[in-house]
Amino acid sequence: MLHHAPLITTIAVGLVAAFILGFLAQKARLSPIVGYLAAGLLIGPYTPGYVGDVDLATQLSEIGVILLMFGVGLHFSFKELLAVRRVALPGAIAQMTVATALGTGLGFVLGWGTAGSLLFGLALSVASTVVMLRALEERQMLDTRAGHIAVGWLIVEDLAMVIALVVVPVLAGGADVTGAELAGELALTVARVAGFVALMWFVGRRVIPWTLARVADTGSRELFTLGVLAIGLGVAVGAAWLFEVSFALGAFFAGMILRESDLSHRAAEDSLPLRDAFAVLFFVAVGMLVDPSIVWRQPVALLATVAIIVGGKLVVAYALVRALKYSRSMALVVGASLAQIGEFSFILVTLGADLEVLHQDAQDLVLAGAIVSIILNPLLFAWVARVYARREGVAVDDAEGPVESHATGHVVVVGYGRVGGRVAEGLWGAEIPVVVIDDDETRVERIRAAGHEAILGNAARAKVLHAAGIEAARAVLVGVPDPLNAGAIVAKARELAPDADIVARGHGKRDVAYLQAQGASRVLVGVHEIADLMVERAGGPPNEPEAT
């Protein structure tokens, strides 16, 4: 019976095994990811007992990658992507170059030849989308400046892999390949990516938000959720089919376009359960691919591979971010985010095997190196969190507490951007005590240097709000522009201070409803406030607040 339903069986057995072993890992104070990987190893072809369908598991895990990148796009805007280009573009290129060189050198030592060694090195250079996003989300760093840099870095790596997947088969053709043929393939790839981006910018940003708004008007929750999934998966598959770009890249741009809609926060919430479930299947699929015999067949080579993935990539990323004048804590977060490998590495080694240019040991080392780096990544982040807390006074899980404020009767201002900065300056001018919370180290240092109190961290975290003295504050003013991030901050602030006056900013009526549902006392929308002020200046009666 089981042989006639491989899809259902693989999903069921994989999720049950992941649940049991993930729960045991959590009880043992390890990351649940360790349990998910162990579940994959347990049902994989290299261990006795039931063997799941590896091909099906790999395809299911790809859905997890698509949904995760779609979710990231919902938190990311073109402006934010362009804002980190100065560090993400040169950083990603330099790190990939160094990691590829180190891996190629190891391949030469092991006698795999030029083509196989280069492909092995390239597979070690690209980070896993799923692992990075999981690590940043667990510590609520995805919406911080370091998180934006890490995601921008990942997008550059993704684009590089799109080019690599085109170039590698051409180069594998051997001496018959001419420079003109290679240049032609590269130009075609760049044209395809540019065509996809143009289509999403000029057509998608009008059609996608409009379509979702019409679906929302029907009042059907299930139809709305289906529409969100259809957009994310449909754009990802369509991009791969029409433009030959990766699923992840297509889903990311779909999310960024949907962010233009007032419904973006609802779309993110509705797709979250599926993102989590398929992310678990990703780790199960990774575990199924690993041949554990590589541990005793090539122990020294495996240690060298892990050293390149974890140590080499961390050091290079740290040095590059520091060289671009960013803080030590930000450099550590970015470095830790990238110190692992995943899905693109598996695609590359599969391609190398099909083209018969990659040694079997190289495939096994990449897969084993991936699973070891994925296990080590939460431990690495825990260490980074402690360093981050000690050096910057920011609150993170499993770390020392932040620098605390002892103010009372003060105002907590969250976000020191254009809005939050103006609010704080006005309050200081009125001699009202203020504690600012911001995730940008440079801003926090500038505030402290001016003699004011500031807390570095993400205000969606209880430790950060406690450090700002939220229990003794007269009001909390949330000036961050992203409604999703603002909603998380408002909800946590309301939980810790049930009687506080919490004021947030929004961009439209849907933001007002969403933020008030999270606990905001009032939501201010710029265009509404300007209109009310104009009426008041003209001598008209004041309008009632948009929603109170």
Give the pLDDT confidence of 442-453 residue by residue, as tens digits: 788 889 888 888
Of 143-157, 159-173, 259-273, 514-528, the one with minimum mean pLDDT is 159-173
Q: Percentage of residues in the chain with pLDDT exceeding 90?
A: 16
255 within 8 A of 71, measured Cβ to Cβ:
yes
Q: Does the pLDDT value for residue 163 go beyond 50?
A: yes
Cα 58 versus chain centre, distance: 20
pLDDT exceeds cutoff 60 at 230:
yes
pLDDT at 397 over 60: no
- The number of residues making up the chain comes to 548
**Which tokens is 22 given?**
């993930």
Residue 99 confidence (pLDDT): 93
15, amino acid identity: L
Reported confidence tier of residue 191, pLDDT bands at 50, 70, 90: confident
User: Please, which pLDDT band fits residue 8 given cuts at 50, 70 and 90?
Assistant: confident
Ramachandran angles phi, psi of 537, nearest 5° = -65, -30
> What is the spatial distance between Cα 185 and Cα 193, in angstroms, rounded to a whole number?
13
Report the candidate in 231, 218, 234 with the shortest Cα–Cα distance to residue 264.
231
Note the pLDDT of residue 71. 79
What are the CA-CA distances from residue 496 to residues 401, 411, 463, 489 (Å)?
17, 15, 10, 11
The reported pLDDT for the residue numbered 26 is 83
pLDDT digits (tens, 9 = 90+) for 293-332: 888 988 999 999 999 999 999 999 999 888 887 878 788 8
Highest mean pLDDT of the ranges 120-129, 255-264, 341-350, 524-533: 120-129
- Give the three-state DSSP class for 301: helix
Residue 541 is predicted with a pLDDT of 64
For CA atoms 268, 274, 279, 282, the dihedral sign is: negative
pLDDT score for 380: 87
Beta bridge partners of 504: 478, 523
Residue 389 has pLDDT above 70, yes or no: no
Give the pLDDT confidence of 36-51 residue by residue, as tens digits.
888 998 998 888 888 8
pLDDT at 82 over 70: yes
pLDDT of residue 399: 39
Per-residue confidence (pLDDT) for residue 388, from 0 to 100: 59
What pLDDT score does 176 carry?
A: 59
User: Any idea what DSSP says for residue 399?
Assistant: S
Would you state the pLDDT for residue 4? 67
Residue 454's H or E segment, with its range, is strand 453-456
pLDDT interval class at 243 (50, 70, 90)? confident
Q: What's the mean pLDDT in 423-430?
A: 90
What is the pLDDT at residue 315? 92
What does the mean pLDDT of the chain come to? 82
CB contact burial 107-129 (16+ within 10 A = b; e otherwise): bbebebeebbbbbbbbbbbbbbb
Using one digit for the tens of pLDDT, what is the confidence trace for 348-367? 887 787 778 888 888 889 98
